[in-house]
Amino acid sequence: MPTKVISVANQKGGVGKTTTAVNLSACLAYMGKRVLLVDVDPQANATSGLGIEKAEGASLYRVLLGEGSIMDKIKPTAFENLHLVPSEVDLCGVDVELIRMDHHLQRLQMALQPAVESGNYDVILIDCPPSLAVLTLNAFAAADGLLVPLQCEYYALEGISMITKLIQQLRDSGVNPRLHLFGVVMTMFDGRTNLARQVVAEVREHFKELVFETVIPRSTRLAEAPSHGKPIIHYDKYGAGAAAYGVLAMEFCKRLGI
């Protein structure tokens, strides 16, 4: 089965985007799936969350400009079946450079091609920056689908309407005709509040079966794990966060057909 590319995106920060990218990747790998996580967020939180040091020249910066190959940037992690393309701060400048280049929205898609065609991976997950700038649009153009984490709070639905518009534009313009909203995952759920339950109900009403059944709880252990350079499945294996991401990974596989 061909490698699937899924971008994890939300232009709002602090919604559990990187937490979801890291922990979903780790749970899929733990289940025996071969996973490549590509960190294209200049903050490099997914990189440090997997215990990889930020190093100069380690990111896709040069590859996006047409120099070198992604295969030279892939790093093994401490976790079986999970590989990473790290990020670092130099990616901040790539938006400006890419705009001047031919096919500037397809640079990431072209860069990923050798990894997609290698047959080494069942799934490639891309952790996007919390914006809708050129780097994120590249991640949209490179993906088969988008996974959108939504925080269980009042403004949750506002940002996603912009993402659905962008998906349509990228499809209609021919930049990525196969792009679709793969799924919405509700994060930071606090079952003690009426608001959280109302937001989940509203999002389910709006997006129907696109919303994953699994809801990710608000959890101190989930928040602590990145500072130890470990995904939750390796930091607090029997906690609520690990259980939630484990079930999400199973749902994800079923939806992808892997």
pLDDT digit string, tens, across residues 230-245: 999 999 999 999 999 9
Residue ranges of the alpha helices (H) in 143-216?
A: 156-172, 194-207
**Cα of 161 vs its chain's centroid, Å:** 18
pLDDT at 157 over 80: no
Q: Provide the pLDDT for residue 252.
A: 97
Contact indicator for 116, 143 with CB cutoff of 8 Å? no
Q: Provide the pLDDT for residue 139.
A: 96
Q: 3-class DSSP state for residue 176? A: coil
Length of the chain: 258
* Domain 4-256 CATH class label: alpha beta
Q: Provide the pLDDT for residue 96.
A: 87
Q: Provide the pLDDT for residue 153.
A: 86
Burial 69-98 (b: 16+ CB within 10 A, else e): ebeebbeebebebbbbbbbbebbeebbeeb
For residue 19, CA distances in Å to 120, 189, 231 come to 24, 14, 8
Q: How confident is the model at residue 129 (pLDDT cuts 50, 70, 90)?
A: very high
Contact indicator for 38, 128 with CB cutoff of 8 Å? no
Q: How confident is the model at residue 211 (pLDDT cuts 50, 70, 90)?
A: very high
For the chain, give the mean pLDDT.
Answer: 94
Longest dimension (CA), the chain: 52
pLDDT digit string, tens, across residues 79-104: 999 999 999 988 888 888 888 988 99
